[in-house]
Amino acid sequence: MGAARRLATSQAGMIDVHTHAIDPDLADVSARFPGVYPTVQRTSEDTAQIWLDGRMYREIDSRCWSAADRVRDMDAEGVAMQVVSPIPVTLSHSEPADGAAALAEAQNNFLAKLVEDAPGRLAAFGCVPLQSPRRAIAELARCIEDLGFVGVEIGTRVGDRELSDPEFLPFFQAAGELGATVFIHPVDRTLDTRLAKLRLTFGMGMPTETAIAAAGLLVAGVLSAAPNVRICLAHAGGALPSVLPRVAFGQRIVEGVTVDEYMATRQARKLWSDSLTYDINSLRLALTRYGEDHVVLGTDYPFTAMETPAGAVLADVLSQLGRSTHDAIARGNALSLFPDPA
Nearer to Zn ion among residue 86 and residue 129 (C-beta): 86
- CB of residue 246 vs Zn ion: minimum separation in angstroms? 26
Nearer to Zn ion among residue 133 and residue 151 (C-beta): 151
- CB of residue 263 vs Zn ion: minimum separation in angstroms? 29
User: Could you tell me the CA-to-CA distances from 166 to 170, 171, 172, 223 in Å, in that order?
Assistant: 8, 10, 10, 12
Q: How many angstroms separate the CA atoms of 290 and 279, rounded?
A: 17
- CB of residue 301 vs Zn ion: minimum separation in angstroms? 9
- CB of residue 238 vs Zn ion: minimum separation in angstroms? 12
- CB of residue 260 vs Zn ion: minimum separation in angstroms? 33
- CB of residue 83 vs Zn ion: minimum separation in angstroms? 11
Indicate the residue type of 223.
Answer: L
Nearer to Zn ion among residue 24 and residue 302 (C-beta): 302
Nearer to Zn ion among residue 184 and residue 195 (C-beta): 184
Question: By the 8 A CB rule, do 85 and 151 touch?
Answer: no
Nearer to Zn ion among residue 16 and residue 300 (C-beta): 300
Closest CA to 12 of 72, 78, 73, 84: 78
- Which residues in this chain contact Zn ion in the complex, by CB under 5 A? 300
What kind and span of H or E run contains 30?
Answer: none
* Cα-trace Rg, the chain: 19
**DSSP-derived pairing of the beta strands 47-52 and 55-61:** antiparallel
Let me know if 54 is exposed, middle or buried by CB neighbors in 10 A (0-12, 13-18, 19+).
exposed
Q: How many angstroms separate the CA atoms of 153 and 88, rounded?
A: 8
Nearer to Zn ion among residue 139 and residue 300 (C-beta): 300
Query: Exposure string (b/e) for 167-192, b if CB count within 10 Å is 16 or more?
Result: ebbebbbbbbebbbbbbbbbbbbbbe
If you count them, how many residues does the chain have? 342
Nearer to Zn ion among residue 121 and residue 235 (C-beta): 235
- CB of residue 276 vs Zn ion: minimum separation in angstroms? 8
Closest CA to 142 of 110, 105, 111: 105
Closest residue to Zn ion, judged by C-beta, is 300
